[in-house]
């Protein structure tokens, strides 16, 4: 996979960021993420968590999200789909503002209080990868975007089961496929009951 952005949403969405540790001397950064619904779906042990280890880190950047200062207005009776569209349009009017890396990562040590709302990895021909991820505090007061450029990223199920990127992605895809099929089945059953 070269010169492409790969979404990690299926695997990390709503995952609780348990820790983010950076070792400047070793040029590494490690994320520990707990995703209970994937752990349960795949029958993993209750202690299983995802670990992303970035090696030969060359850049770390942190941003605060500054929302657009207007009020979000979603009229009563708006459909779910339309309300999502309105939220996306409102979000797009906000901006990212540079933040101090150490200040942001110190906040993220508030174990389990931040969840990942979006994540993708950009893989480049030159041999570098950039992990982009957004984290949101559980009380919705803090929102950050972080970017880490490294030579490689390793994916593990803690404590020591290493996965390829493709294997990691399959974990999330299988869950969401089953979720979608179950939802379709329930909708069909509800429709049959109305007929």
> pLDDT by residue (tens digit) across 96-146?
999 999 999 998 886 679 999 899 999 987 779 999 999 998 887 788 999
Exposure string over 48-69, b if 16+ CB within 10 A, otherwise e: bbbbbbbeebeebbbbbbeeee
Query: Where is 80: in which H helix or E strand?
Result: helix 80-92
Q: Are 33 and 131 in contact (CB under 8 A)?
A: no
User: Is the pLDDT reported for residue 2 higher than 60?
Assistant: no
- Of the chain, the percentage scoring pLDDT greater than 70 comes to 91
- Across residues 66-82, what is the average pLDDT? 91
Alpha-carbon radius of gyration of the chain: 19
**Token pair of 26 as six digits:** 């070793």
pLDDT given at position 18 = 93
User: Is the pLDDT reported for residue 17 higher than 70?
Assistant: yes
Strand partners, 149: 59, 130
pLDDT given at position 164 = 94
On average, the pLDDT of the chain sits at 89
- Main-chain phi, psi angles of 8, to 5 degrees: -105, 10
Residue 58 CA: distances (Å) to CA of 27, 62, 120: 7, 14, 18
**What's the pLDDT band for 3 if we cut at 50, 70, 90?**
confident
- Say which range, 43-47, 111-115, 164-168, 170-174, has the weakest mean pLDDT: 111-115
Which residue is listed with tokens 């950047």?
61
pLDDT given at position 1 = 47
- Across residues 60-71, what is the average pLDDT? 91
**3-class secondary-structure state, position 156:** strand
Q: Are 147 and 128 in contact (CB under 8 A)?
A: no
What is the C-alpha to C-alpha distance for residues 118 and 33, in angstroms, rounded to an integer? 13
pLDDT given at position 130 = 95
Tell me how crowded residue 152 is: count the other CB atoms within 10 A of its CB: 12
**What's the pLDDT band for 186 if we cut at 50, 70, 90?**
low
User: Is the pLDDT reported for residue 53 higher than 90?
Assistant: yes
**Token pair of 111 as six digits:** 């174990």
What is the C-alpha to C-alpha distance for residues 55 and 43, in angstroms, rounded to an integer? 29
């Amino acid at each position: 996979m070269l010169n492409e952005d790969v979404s990690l949403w299926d695997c990390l969405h709503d995952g609780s960021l348990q820790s983010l540790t950076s070792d400047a001397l070793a040029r590494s950064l490690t994320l520990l993420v707990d995703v209970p619904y994937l752990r349960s779906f795949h029958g993993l042990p209750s202690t299983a968590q995802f670990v992303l280890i970035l090696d030969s880190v060359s850049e770390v950047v942190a941003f605060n999200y500054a929302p657009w200062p207007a009020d979000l207005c979603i009229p009563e009776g708006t459909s779910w789909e339309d309300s999502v569209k309105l939220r996306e349009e409102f979000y797009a009017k906000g901006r990212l503002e540079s933040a101090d890396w150490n200040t942001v990562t110190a906040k993220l040590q508030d174990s389990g209080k931040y969840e990942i709302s979006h994540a993708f990895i950009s893989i480049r021909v030159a041999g570098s990868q950039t992990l982009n991820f957004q984290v949101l505090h559980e009380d919705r007061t803090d929102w950050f975007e972080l970017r880490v450029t490294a030579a490689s990223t390793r994916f593990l199920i803690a404590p020591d089961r290493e996965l390829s990127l493709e294997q990691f992605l399959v974990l999330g895809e299988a869950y969401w496929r089953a979720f979608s099929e179950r939802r379709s089945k329930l909708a069909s059953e509800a429709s049959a009951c109305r007929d």
